[in-house]
């Protein structure tokens, strides 16, 4: 990367994804990456996992920040990867899929920094009482990313009319 280049000039787009998210996020990421001529990295953050690195006295390595994947996580990841494969089967955009662990905002930010991402793409909160309760306890991922990034964050509105990706 040249001295005048920034993370806006090259690098992939990082997209936060989870089971049941509307296809609008995948479509938006694909169109954006296509117009920018870049790769898309879809990332699922497993909330019920822990990072491999637990001892603060040892140096952090790339491997220590990857989750220890169990059978249940493997099934969810396989489902998401299959959904992405179906949705992007006709796409010319190069894409990949990663499973991350820990706090979603921190994990996505860490991945974006590691791959020198040009932007992050996430959905806004979903409608409904259950999602408001979840946001009350966990906070808004979109807000946390938008407030704590040095790179752009594209927020894709999620609403009731948008069907989930299959």
61: number of CA atoms within 13 Å, CB side? 4
pLDDT tens column, 20-53: 888 889 999 999 999 999 999 999 988 765 554 4
Residue-level pLDDT at 68: 53
Top-confidence residue, 45 or 137? 45
CA dist., res. 86 & res. 95, Å (int): 12
133 vs 130: CA distance, rounded Å: 5
Mean pLDDT lowest among 21-35, 76-90, 135-149: 135-149
Confidence tier at 133 by pLDDT (50, 70, 90): very low
- The model carries a pTM of 0.75
The whole-angstrom separation of Cα 35 and Cα 118 is: 13
Distances (CA, A) of 132 to 30, 49, 125, 139, 164: 28, 23, 8, 9, 19
Domains defined along the chain, listed by start:
17-156 (3.40.50.620)
- DSSP lists the bridge partners of residue 106 as none
| pLDDT tens digits for range 99-130 | 988 888 888 999 999 999 999 998 876 555 54
Minimum mean pLDDT range among 41-45, 64-68, 75-79, 139-143: 64-68
Mean pLDDT for the chain overall: 76
């Amino acid at each position: 990367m040249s001295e005048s280049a920034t993370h806006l000039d090259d690098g992939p787009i990082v997209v936060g994804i989870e089971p049941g998210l509307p296809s609008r996020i995948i479509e938006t990421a694909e169109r954006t990456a296509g117009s920018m001529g870049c790769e898309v990295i879809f990332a699922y953050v497993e909330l019920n996992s822990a990072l491999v690195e637990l001892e603060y006295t040892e140096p952090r390595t790339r491997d220590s920040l990857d989750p220890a994947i169990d059978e249940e996580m493997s099934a969810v990841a396989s489902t998401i990867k299959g959904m992405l494969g179906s949705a992007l089967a006709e796409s010319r955009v190069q894409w990949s899929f990663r499973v991350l662990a820990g706090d979603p905002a921190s994990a996505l930010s860490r991945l974006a920094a590691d791959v020198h991402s040009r932007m992050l793409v996430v959905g806004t909160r979903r409608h409904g009482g259950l999602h408001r309760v979840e946001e009350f306890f966990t906070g808004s991922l979109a807000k946390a990313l938008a407030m704590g990034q040095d790179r752009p964050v594209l927020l894709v509105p999620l609403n009731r009319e948008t069907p989930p990706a299959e």
